[in-house]
Chains A and B, each alone.
Chain A
C-alpha cells in the first residue's frame, strides 16, 4: 500500500508575528517554541494578557491532545483570539474571565496557576468542572476548526488533502489495500 511521509516539510511560511515571523514551524518546534507567557508569541499579544494566551494554548492542548503535534499548531489555533478580542469586548471578557476561573480552581486544588500544574491528569480535573461553561464550549468548538483545519497539520495524521491536481487517486492507491483476509 502507498503510505505517506508524515514528516513536516520545511517549505511554508508560518504566520506568527514578532520573533517567530516567517520561521518554519519545524524550526520553531526544534527551538522549543513552547507554551509560556514569556514566549515572544505570547508577549506579542495586543489585547489579551500573555498569561491568558499561554493558558489558552495549554488548554487547547489538553482539550485535543495529539502527542505527535508540536505546540506551534496549538499556538496558531489560539492566536487569532487576540485580534478578535481587540474588536469584541465580550469575547475578551469571556476569555480573560474563563482563564481566571481556571486559575482560581487550580490554585484551590494545587496552589498554582493552571498553566503551571505539571500533570495533565490534574489539569483535567480542573477542566472537568468547566465543561458546561460558555467559555469552555466556545474554546472547544472553535478549536475543531482552528486546530484541525490547518493544512500543514493534515500530513501528520496521514491525510493527504486536495487530490484533483494530482489526478485523484486512480493511479495513487485508491484500491491498494493488501492485508484483508481472503473470503
Chain B
C-alpha cells in the first residue's frame, strides 16, 4: 500500500472517497498516477456494519452541525440535518440503495427541452448522452448493474410485488426490479444478494457495489493509491499564478493537528454540501469569493430531487423490510410531458424503513393514535419513494453560516432550499399516482410521507459550457483553475428523473481519462 510524503508535489489529491472520489482514485491509480485520497470519516469495513438503524446512523452518518433555511419541510423537521449522507471511507456508496439509471437524452438538454421556466436557473449540460454513453457502459460494467451487460435482474421482493401489481392495474408498462448495482449472482469477487434488507446501513454481504470494498482496494493494490481516513480538508491552497498547490487538512485522529499535503492536482469530491463549502472556505486575497467562483455560482443551484414517500396499508401482510430496500421501479412517469402540469418527470421506486426509522420519518412531529395506528400496521405496509427532477434555482444554495463554526473553527454549511412551483406540482402528481397504485390492489389506508433529509445532493458546482454560467467544464475541470477539479454530484447541471450515482461514476471515469491525458501532455 502506498504511503506518500506530505511534500510530494507530484500526487493528485482527491477530497472524499465516495462514488466520485473513490472511482476517480482507482481509475487514475490503474493508469499509474499517484493518488492521495483524504477522507473526513473513519474507515469502517463490512464486518463493522450493523443491521440496526440508529446504531448504524451513529456509526456512518455525516452528523457535523449544519444549518438550514427555506420553505422545504426538511428545514422544519430536521433543521440541523439537511442531508443523510455518509462520513466514512466509501462515502455515500455505503448508504446508497444501488439504483443505477442512465439519464434520458433530453435530460442533458433541460433548457432547450423545457424552455424558460420562471424562477429556474436552467441551462443545458455541456455534454450529451451520446458523448457520455461509452462511460455509462464502462460504469455499468464496473459496478455490475443488473439488466445491463448480460447481468440478470434481481428477484422482486414482497414490497416490489405490491408496487408491480398496482402499477400493472393502472396500465403502467415499464415496471421491473431496477437497474441495480447489486449482484444478482456472484461477480467481480463479490457474492450475490442475500436479501438482507439493510441496504442503507452498509451491505453486510458486499453484493452492493461500494467504493469501500470495490474501487479503493483495487486502487490500493496498484501501489499508487493511499487513502487517509480522519483527514478533514479545511483549505485548498494556491500559488501566485492561481494554480492550486495542495491542501491543508485536520488530522482528526490526532487532535485536529493541521497537515499540508502538496499536490499537482486537487479534485474535490466531498458531496454537494461539503465541496462548495471547501471552495468557499478557501477564499484568499487573490480569490476573495472562494476558489473557482468567478461566476458566483459556487454553492448555487442546489438540487435534492423532488421526493416524498407513499406508504400503503393493506388488510394482509407485506413485510416490506424483507429484501432489498430499492427493490423495483415504475418508470412511465419519467418522461417529460408538460400536459401533466409540470415539466420533467419522476420515478417511483420501492422503499422500506425498519420500525425505528419509520417512527422517526413517517410524519415527523406527529403523535397520537392517527400516527401510532399506522405503526401498528407495520407488517401490512408497502412503501414507494418518489425521485423527480427538481428545478435548479440560484437562490437554493449552500453558504457559509455566519455564526456557527465546526471543531476546526471553520464556518459550517448552511443550506437554503425553497420548493419551486414545478417541484410542488410534480410531487402532488406523484403522490396521487402512488396512492392510485396502492388503492388498485386494495390499500385500506395510504399515507403521504414528506421528504427525508436529502440523500441526493446535486448541482452546487455545476457544469457549464460558458464560464459565466457555472463552475466546471464538461470534464469537471474548474473554469478558473486548470489543476482544480470537481468530481462529485455537485457538477450536475440538472438532476434528471433518476438516482445520480451511475452518472457520478461515469463522469469520474471520463474525468480520469481527461486528467491522465492532460498530465501526459504536461498541460497540468
Q: Give A2's nearest chain B residue, CB to CB.
A: B319
B48 CB, nearest partner CB in chain A, Å = 12
Interface flag for B54 (CB, 8 Å): yes
Within the assembled complex, what's the spacing in Å between the Cα atoms of A147 and B162? 30
B165 and A179 form a contact (CB under 8 A)? no
Q: Are B157 and A180 in contact (CB under 8 A)?
A: no
Does B514 make an interface contact (CB < 8 A)?
Answer: no
Given the known A-B contacts A65-B369, A144-B359, are A180 and B195 also in contact in the complex, defined by CB atoms under 8 Å? no
Please report which residues of chain A, range 132-183, place their CB below 8 angstroms from some CB of chain B when the two chains form the complex. Answer: 140, 144-145, 147-149, 151, 154, 157-165, 167-170, 172-177, 179-181, 183
- A111 interface residue (CB < 8 Å to B): no
Question: Once the chains are docked, how many angstroms separate the CA of A155 from the CA of B100?
Answer: 34
Interface locus among B101-109, B295-303, B372-380, B447-455: B372-380
Closest to B49 in A: A164
One of B87-95, B196-204, B395-403 at the interface = B196-204
Would A161 and B165 count as touching, CB distance under 8 A? no
B 207-236 binary contact with A (CB < 8 Å = 1; else 0): 000000000000000000000000000000
| B152-190 interface code vs A (CB 8 A; 1 in, 0 out) | 000111100110010011000000000000000000000
A64 near B: Cβ within 8 Å?
Answer: yes
In the assembled complex, which residues on chain B have CB atoms less than 8 Å from the CB atom of A163? 51, 196-198, 322
**Pair A145/B356 contact, Cβ less than 8 Å:** yes
Chain B residues with CB under 8 A of A65: 368-369, 372
Contact (Cβ within 8 A) A169 B323: yes
Looking across the interface, which residue of chain B has its beta carbon closest to that of A139?
A: B367
- Asked whether, in the complex, the Cβ of A164 is within 8 Å of the Cβ of B372, the reply is no
Instruction: Give B57 Cβ to nearest chain A Cβ, in Å.
Output: 10
Whether A177 lies near B162 (C-beta < 8 A) is yes
Set of chain B residues within 8 Å of A108, measured between Cβ atoms = none
- Contacts of B303-350 to chain A: CB distance below 8 A: 316-319, 321-323
Instruction: For B321, give its contact among A149, A160, A183 (CB under 8 Å).
Output: A160
- Determine if A169 and B376 form an interchain contact, defined as CB atoms under 8 angstroms apart: no
Contact of A180 among B165, B365, B378 (CB under 8 A): B165
Main secondary structure of the interface of B (DSSP, over half): loop
A10, CB-defined interface residue at 8 Å: no
Q: Which residues of A contact B161 (CB under 8 A)?
A: 175, 177, 180
Q: Does A3 contact B (CB under 8 A)?
A: yes
Closest to A151 in B: B52
Contact across chains for B317 and A3 when beta carbons are under 8 A apart: yes
Name A173's contact: one of B52, B194, B319, B360 (CB within 8 Å): B319
**Do residues A1 and B317 form an inter-chain contact, with CB atoms below 8 A?**
yes
For B132, list chain A residues within 8 Å (CB).
Answer: none
Interface membership of B471, Cβ < 8 A: no
Give the chain B neighbours of A183 by CB distance below 8 A.
165, 168-169
Q: Is B83 an interface residue, CB under 8 A from the partner? A: no
A2 vs B54: C-alpha distance in the bound complex, in angstroms?
Answer: 26
Tell whether, in the assembled complex, residue B196 and residue A175 are in contact, meaning their CB atoms are under 8 Å apart: no
Which residue of B is nearest A160, CB measured? B321
Chain A residue with minimal CB distance to B319?
A173
Asked if A168 and B169 make an inter-chain contact with CB atoms under 8 angstroms apart, the answer reads no
Residues of chain B contacted by A144 (CB below 8 angstroms): 359-360
CB distance from A142 to the nearest CB of B (A): 12
B193 located at the interface, meaning its Cβ lies under 8 Å from any Cβ of chain A in the complex: yes
A180 to B157, CA, bound (A): 13
Are B158 and A175 neighbours in the complex by a CB distance under 8 Å? Answer: yes
Interface of chain A residues 1 through 19 with chain B (CB within 8 A):
1-3
A63 at the binding interface (Cβ < 8 Å)? yes
B467 / chain A contacts, CB cutoff of 8 Å: none
Chain B minimum-CB-distance residue to A147: B359
Whether the Cβ atoms of A162 and B162 lie closer than 8 Å is: no
Q: Which residue in chain B gives the minimum CB-CB distance to A182?
A: B165
Is the pair A179, B368 in contact by a Cβ cutoff of 8 Å?
A: no
Do B369 and A145 touch across chains, with their CB atoms under 8 A apart? no
Are B194 and A168 in contact, with the CB atoms below 8 A? Answer: yes
In the complex, whether B287 has a CB less than 8 A from a CB of chain A is: no
**Chain A nearest CB: distance from B424 CB in Å?**
26
- Please, what's the 1-or-0 string for A87-123, where 1 marks a CB less than 8 Å from any CB in chain B? 0000000000000000000000000000000000000
CA distance A138 to B257 in the complex (A): 37
Q: Indicate whether A181 sits within 8 Å of B165 (C-beta atoms), given known contacts A163-B198, A164-B194, A173-B322.
A: yes
A124 close to B (CB within 8 Å): yes
Contacts of B157 in A (CB 8 A): 169, 174-175
Of the candidates A3, A145, A168, A181, the one whose C-beta lies within 8 Å of that of B195 is A168
Are A181 and B441 interface neighbours, CB within 8 A? Answer: yes
Q: Is A84 an interface residue (CB 8 A)?
A: no
Find chain A residues with CB under 8 A from B169 CB: 181, 183
Point out the residue from A68, A159, A164 that lies within 8 Å of B198, measured CB to CB. A164
User: How far apart are B47's CB and chain A's nearest CB, in angstroms?
Assistant: 11
Q: Are A162 and B165 also in contact (CB < 8 A) when A1-B319, A63-B368, A176-B158 are? A: no
Complex interface: chain B residues within 8 A of A158 (CB) = 317, 319, 378-379
CA distance A164 to B378 in the complex (A): 21
Q: When chains A and B are docked, how far (Å) is the Cα of A168 from the Cα of B318?
A: 16
12 further interface pairs, Cβ-Cβ under 8 Å (given A63-B368, A174-B158): A145-B54, A148-B359, A149-B356, A157-B355, A159-B354, A161-B51, A165-B51, A168-B194, A168-B205, A170-B323, A177-B162, A183-B168
A interface residue numbers (CB < 8 A to B) = 1-3, 63-66, 68, 124, 140, 144-145, 147-149, 151, 154, 157-165, 167-170, 172-177, 179-181, 183
